[in-house]
Amino acid sequence: MRLVIALVLVAGCRAESDEFAVSPGGGGGSIGSGGSDEPDAGIDGNDSGANGLVGRVCVLSDLRQPSVCNPTGAGDIVVTLGTRIATTLDDGAFVIQAPTGSNLVWHATGQQIVTSAQPFSTSTLVPAVTVAGYDDLLSANGILMVPGQGSIVAQVVQATNPVVDATATVSPVSQFALRYDGASSTTWDQDATGTLGVVWITGAAVGPTTVRVTPPLGAAVNTTLLVEDQAITFGVVEIP
């Protein structure tokens, strides 16, 4: 299992996310020399230092395309990575001091967005969706979330290409049926992944959740993601 933070889409969408790739990689590995645990400045601040990671909170118009960002409307979002803290500019850009430690998770929180969580890896593009947009999407699909539940958005890829016609199950079982990307950005399919390879899970219980993806060819793959209360966890399932 290997989680990738910035969900890789079709070639035309990857250029934007690649701007925010960082090195060294490795979700959960120890990186950099760290520094103080004081809050870091935004990208216009002076505290990034030699270990600063340049990133962006990618506010989405379409949950099926989690690396296609709105150009504005992403300001004053608080980004945390371990003990490091940064604040975004209007386009979502930020600089955050490189952390140390293992099993690190990006978090993005703000009044205008649903809290985003995703494991740390080699990319610093952090997807997010507006509260209003997500409420509309839940309503369009007949979903009513309650406290103690969260969501997962995972893309299924093979050699960076979205996998079509993959199906998924989740353990523990989520309250609502799994959805998949289709022709509509609002009403999602319930049969299998479409051309973007995205699985949307809602009503998942807070805590570790195993997503088991079965591709049209080959063996099923299990990926464990941590669901957080009233948040969206973004991740990638890689098919060998």
List pLDDT tens digits, range 106-117.
999 999 999 999
Report whether pLDDT(162) > 80. Answer: yes
Residue 50: per-residue pLDDT: 59
| Separation CA 162–CA 21 (nearest Å) | 19
3 state SS for the chain: CCCCCCCCCCHHHHHHHHCCECCCCCCCCCCCCCCCCCCCCCCCCCCCCCCEEEEEEEEECCCCCCCCECCCCCCCCEEEECCEEEECCCCCEEEEECCCCCCCEEEEEECCEEEEEEECCCECEEEEEEHHHHHHHHHHCCCCCCCCEEEEEEEEEECCEECCCCEEEEECCCCCCCEECCCCCCCCECCCCCCCCEEEEEEEECEEEEEEEECCCCCCEEEEEEECCCCEEEEEEECC
| Separation CA 40–CA 79 (nearest Å) | 10
For CATH 2.60.40.10, list the domain ranges present in the chain.
132-238
**How many residues belong to the chain?**
240
What's the chain's average pLDDT?
Answer: 84
Domain 132-238: assigned CATH number = 2.60.40.10
pTM of the model: 0.81
Q: What is the mean pLDDT of residues 13-33?
A: 37
Q: Which residue has the higher pLDDT, 160 or 51?
A: 160
- Which CATH fold would you assign to the domain 11-130? Immunoglobulin-like (2.60.40)
Residue 2: per-residue pLDDT: 39
